[in-house]
Structure 1
């Protein structure tokens, strides 16, 4: 029987930052808890806009869910389109899906600035017809 490695893959294949954390600033515009994809992306965006940002992480960078996602970036949201449309309306649901597709594009454009992604490849995206899904469920 083949045993799978049950640990975080990327620290063994990428160089980790060295040094010790510096002193925390006495004042910041924004404090972010968690140095995963979302926290670091938010910090980077805010800092580029001129904000003073501190990112607090209990473990190493990307230690939590960001390093355990199987290496996939997906579109969509947790609930199906019909449930979202019934709960929030069709226009809000369209905006949610549009934002999720935008996050795919953002991840493709932001990561090359921080090093080559030689193993990255894009595959198909399935876009659902929201109105059809909502109308089908109502019938």
Structure 2
């Protein structure tokens, strides 16, 4: 039993492996995982204030500003006035950003399917249920 890895070690090993595969899947777009996550948030939630982006990404507001700047520089997102508060701005996907976000979502989904293909359908269901329980 001495050589058996703990549950947390096995979990982190799988997480590292999945993160590596995700980085490889993102290579065609030359985006960091953090920018890809920001695109995903924008695709899922629509136009959003930078404070909301920071909350979703669990990053500092200053870092969210840098993420928004990077996405804007790449033509993937743009700042727009908030129609509900003229002092505030929203970050919105551009058409190119929406296309990129959808393509990344499809690539990550395909990568996930390939990664979890080693599990039976029943094992996948059990794993998903357990992960949701731990998350919640």
Q: TM-score, normalised by structure 2?
A: 0.29
* More helix by percentage: 2
Larger Rg: 1
* More strand by percentage: 2
Q: TM-score, normalised by structure 1?
A: 0.28
